[in-house]
Structure 1
């Protein structure tokens, strides 16, 4: 019997569907991937069509024919937009693909989200010789001149980059700002030298300015050992990273190695040109002076509005931003378009989460507050073309730690120098005491540690070490501690405290470290973790051989009293009633700074084991040799 009409129709439909499936499957079967095909592919574009942004990579030509790898990011539909540029040795690709998201605010760092969300074009560029850029890499490449015989430097590279961007990024309004932290802050400052006409604003944060006076490599002549790890990570293609000294106690590793040169030789670091340069220039000679960016900018007229930024507890570059501000606002230059911001941060924390630093908690996210209240309005008024807000006058913006509030000032320092004298019975006095002295024995074989051991100069411990509780050092026989009575009124400092230390040594050289400390009450029900806490407001070292001048090292005469003077980092801090102020004096801060052998050697960097000797250090107080810390006390 024949099939019924409905059944025949259903069979016909099923047959047709089967033919369609076979037809679709046929090309797949015909194109099956060979089993042994090379499975490596050249690239994968992780920015998919559904992304809310555009990401371009270009090679921008420089005047010497080299090309620099540049990443350009902006939200789809952007037009008439300002450009915010960062020139970096830290990998432009990594900075612009922090997460492989299809949302622009997720791809950039938290510090950039506010800007790209408001239509900014964000640009990152590898500096020459780094990552995907052409050319030779020179650490902190000096300006053209005695230290740089070529025709290019970071100033010319910034100029050529900005010139290309404003001519080729059609989505832009032709206005450019530059910004960056640390090394990127250094390149930001270099862009201000002979700047491109399209450069309208700059925000350098914690910039590397003077590697000998107080930034990465030395502080007042004392060598900072952590620089070896940085040198290795920055200048080696294969095998870079941390020095392979193990993962134990950095204190023990550096002590066992001996001098800085012995350490470098033991780990093969003398093969690195940058390490050799540092070892060959232990003194503030023409090599360091010629690179000092504050001197370079101070010799010119600043034409680009600039907002300098630094953290009060910046563990790497506390010196640079205030030094540039001082150079640009010195006598006769009061109207320079420059502002200064000091926040309660570690190195670069202003571009991240600023709610907390170590044990310290603040009123809200101080990093986000800085970006939304200070940085973005500063850039908007100079870079936007669509109804930009009026530009606020230049000034000083600081966060008063201890009071947890933002403050403004027209000049810096904003406090009057007031002496707090070292006195007898381990006390501090607001009036000059009668003469006296205290002594301690400094032993290079047992240097005072910077932190409770074991010590790791990396990670969170490194970021927050400057705010660690100093009770571990108080009471050591090689540390002198002087303390005020309990305060009955607030003491508000706004500026860089100045150390005036009168001291003698039985050796022929010596380091001196001074700490200014806020001692919390022994009972603190509101925050029990802070009960008795000794918070270092400022810590700084001075290498004694430079007492007659940073360019003229000379041996000390044993037993002779010298007036050693140097500054602590800039601070806006309120010592609250019920607290006490403490000053600690010691002769080492290890392993952050190399040990002073305390005998005379032409270069401490290459001291031999026999050169390291004990010395008795005598601190004078009162009378004609009154040691003091001069506090910049504000009149609140």
Structure 2
């Protein structure tokens, strides 16, 4: 049965439910009566320095015998429910905050929902603001300043948190410079939409996510086209076939958007990493972070894993004395805010990792900096090793204890830790835009979240996917740290994409197990550990793309998300290489051009070669964490 998708697919449900899980879901141990009984709600229009007023909902404890710090979230996704007689189910990042007692503040950012002003995407940070100049950092400053002066029974301290786009606003709070802001937690923060977050990865458009999100978001803004937006008459149960039928990115306007979705058109106007994108890279301005920061991300976050890692790194490198902590768990986007993350897809984690994080890391962090509670031992970096199902702590990330290593592609589909010795060795495949490699096996209507650790056997069976693997490991191997792909390739056309996957192959003798009332066929399971794409024309510069010289061996080098993962004894390490990942990514026509202007007839088959010979040693550069350098972080509930 065909169904109508009104741009609120599973991925958006997960995005917004994870962001607001802590105060929206009925599975929480409260109904609205708890919040209503213990808190008084007021709504304010708080003035900014340029006269624009921002809608703000404030929930203050009814017990006024003591003073309280603020917990603040600024969002473009609505601070509903609206009305001083309307209450949410819970307040703050997790239920612990609701019962503890804070002054909770939720603010619609400029130009969104009930706030005044004009909305702009990933508003650029302005250094040395003068007069009425404003950005998200100054709006945060002005809001905090008003709250401190006008809300009674506050203790003069403010904590800020946010997931995804609200994570971007949290990062801006860390840059706001208001002395009352003591602790900030950017969680999966939007950081750079061309290099690694949401919209693009290494210049390649994340088609399926962007097509869905842009339409929904255009309908939620106060912009001039809001009342003109027609229903998106997209009916499909098979996302692969739907986007294949759409054929090109420009046809989204022709068939569906009709130039009424502003950000989609903005993307089409900026196909390269130009000044527009560069101005929105907030990492450039991270040199004056004063509050303590808790940066949170998920290794299986399909949207903003890049943002979490790079926000932490930028704060760390530019603020020598800042208390900056990184948490990377086994989570999809916002999964750490959910009620239970003891598994993702077919992969079990052994315990409820999200609840543990909420109680043992997030809550104590804010309690310490806002209420002077003792801070339990909190390492500089705490990362989850899914291979061993354990937390590992580090005094820094990436740790100096990591030993540099390379996984080399080799003859006979082998992966080795030693360079190839052959003088004329390569594998090749034909990349056909009319038959791209799917991102996940089976028929899917919505993108979902499980593809990040899903079984890759569906891809290994395709002739346009190269699969290489080690022999069976005779001991555990923990791969750790930064990851870089160094691929020596040739292309019969003038452009191509390159997707690299790092995969854990279970023994054929592994026993099946049950998860979510499903029997998982564990023998030979190929669990995705990390994956990333590089749009080939950006291999030397994201600002100035270059064509390939047909059939000439060329180095394509790019970063893959950081790894901490133990491949157990008896398992194998697999590497896969392919040139499409559809419809997660838009299809490269494999002809050098502005892809956002490509016509259906521009898309051509291409022969791709991956070289693994002495002078062209394709490899994945990473590191090995020795067993005696691992620091298991004890978990107690």
Shorter-normalised TM range: 0.7 to 0.9
Match of 2:211 among 228, 231, 249: 228
Kept in 2, the 8 Å contact 1:85–1:179? The answer is: yes
Equivalences for residues 233-252 of structure 1 within 5 A: 233-236=216-219, 237-238=226-227, 243-252=232-241
State the match for 1:408 in structure 2: 393
Question: Distance in 1 between the 2:354 and 2:587 partners?
Answer: 36
Instruction: From the CA coordinates, give the structure whose radius of gyration is larger.
Output: 1
Most deviating of 186-195 and 202-211: 186-195
SS at match of 1:570: strand
| Structure-2 change in CA distance of 1:295 and 1:591 (3 Å) | same
Matched, 1:273 2:259: no
Kept in 1, the 8 Å contact 2:126–2:134? The answer is: yes
Question: Which ranges of structure 1 fall in alignment gaps of 5 or more residues?
Answer: 1-45
| Structure-2 change in CA distance of 1:94 and 1:260 (3 Å) | farther
Deviation at 1:511, TM superposition (A): 0.5
State the match for 1:347 in structure 2: 333
Matched, 1:446 2:435: yes
Deviation at 1:533, TM superposition (A): 1.5
Give per-residue Cα distances to partners, 1:382-428, cap 9 Å, x unaligned: 1115xx21475660111111111111101212323210111111111
State the match for 1:208 in structure 2: 190
Question: Distance in 2 between the 1:511 and 1:146 partners?
Answer: 40
| Structure-2 change in CA distance of 1:187 and 1:48 (3 Å) | closer
Kept in 2, the 8 Å contact 1:234–1:240? The answer is: no
State the match for 2:41 in structure 1: 55
Matched, 1:166 2:148: yes
Matched, 1:254 2:226: no
State the match for 1:188 in structure 2: 170
Give per-residue Cα distances to partners, 1:162-217, cap 9 Å, x unaligned: 11111122132110011000000000001122421100010011000000000011
Kept in 1, the 8 Å contact 2:111–2:118? The answer is: yes
Kept in 2, the 8 Å contact 1:337–1:394? The answer is: no
| Structure-2 change in CA distance of 1:48 and 1:466 (3 Å) | closer
Question: Distance in 2 between the 1:118 and 1:308 partners?
Answer: 23
Question: Distance in 1 between the 2:590 and 2:477 partners?
Answer: 37
Question: Distance in 2 between the 1:246 and 1:449 partners?
Answer: 20
Kept in 2, the 8 Å contact 1:497–1:570? The answer is: yes
| Structure-2 change in CA distance of 1:76 and 1:592 (3 Å) | same
Deviation at 1:363, TM superposition (A): 2.4
SS at match of 1:375: helix
Equivalences for residues 47-446 of structure 1 within 5 A: 51-77=37-63, 79-94=66-81, 106-108=89-91, 111-144=93-126, 151-225=133-207, 226-236=209-219, 237-238=226-227, 243-297=232-286, 300-330=287-317, 333-352=319-338, 353-385=340-372, 388-390=373-375, 395-414=380-399, 415-435=402-422, 436-446=425-435
Deviation at 1:584, TM superposition (A): 0.4
Matched, 1:551 2:543: yes
Give per-residue Cα distances to partners, 1:457-489, cap 9 Å, x unaligned: 34xxx2222112111111211000001111111
State the match for 1:593 in structure 2: 585
Question: Distance in 2 between the 1:348 and 1:195 partners?
Answer: 27
Kept in 1, the 8 Å contact 2:43–2:83? The answer is: no
Question: Which ranges of structure 2 fall in alignment gaps of 5 or more residues?
Answer: 1-31, 220-225, 514-518, 628-637
Deviation at 1:294, TM superposition (A): 1.4
Kept in 2, the 8 Å contact 1:178–1:202? The answer is: yes
SS at match of 1:294: helix
Question: Distance in 2 between the 1:294 and 1:515 partners?
Answer: 27
Question: Distance in 2 between the 1:139 and 1:76 partners?
Answer: 37
| Structure-2 change in CA distance of 1:95 and 1:413 (3 Å) | farther
Kept in 2, the 8 Å contact 1:519–1:534? The answer is: yes
Give per-residue Cα distances to partners, 1:114-171, cap 9 Å, x unaligned: 1121112221111111111111111222223799997221111111111111112213
Question: Distance in 2 between the 1:177 and 1:156 partners?
Answer: 16
State the match for 1:517 in structure 2: 503
| Structure-2 change in CA distance of 1:147 and 1:223 (3 Å) | farther
SS at match of 1:142: coil
| Structure-2 change in CA distance of 1:360 and 1:150 (3 Å) | farther
State the match for 2:486 in structure 1: 500
Question: Distance in 2 between the 1:124 and 1:556 partners?
Answer: 50
SS at match of 1:191: helix
Aligned residues: 577
State the match for 2:634 in structure 1: none
Deviation at 1:228, TM superposition (A): 2.2
State the match for 2:617 in structure 1: 626
Kept in 2, the 8 Å contact 1:209–1:293? The answer is: yes
SS at match of 1:340: strand
| Structure-2 change in CA distance of 1:271 and 1:440 (3 Å) | same
Kept in 1, the 8 Å contact 2:175–2:288? The answer is: no
| Structure-2 change in CA distance of 1:247 and 1:397 (3 Å) | same
| Structure-2 change in CA distance of 1:146 and 1:593 (3 Å) | farther
| Structure-2 change in CA distance of 1:532 and 1:148 (3 Å) | farther
Question: Distance in 2 between the 1:306 and 1:265 partners?
Answer: 45
Deviation at 1:578, TM superposition (A): 1.2
Deviation at 1:49, TM superposition (A): 11
Match of 2:471 among 485, 510, 514: 485
State the match for 1:616 in structure 2: 607
Of structures 1 and 2, the one scoring higher in RCO (CA 8 A, sep 6+) is: 2
Most deviating of 118-127 and 555-564: 118-127
State the match for 1:12 in structure 2: none
SS at match of 1:496: strand
SS at match of 2:118: coil
Question: Distance in 1 between the 2:128 and 2:206 partners?
Answer: 26
Give per-residue Cα distances to partners, 1:244-271, cap 9 Å, x unaligned: 3213212112111122112233212522
SS at match of 2:100: coil
TM-score by length of 2: 0.86
Deviation at 1:517, TM superposition (A): 0.3
Kept in 1, the 8 Å contact 2:42–2:59? The answer is: yes
Kept in 1, the 8 Å contact 2:163–2:187? The answer is: yes
SS at match of 2:284: helix
Deviation at 1:74, TM superposition (A): 4.1
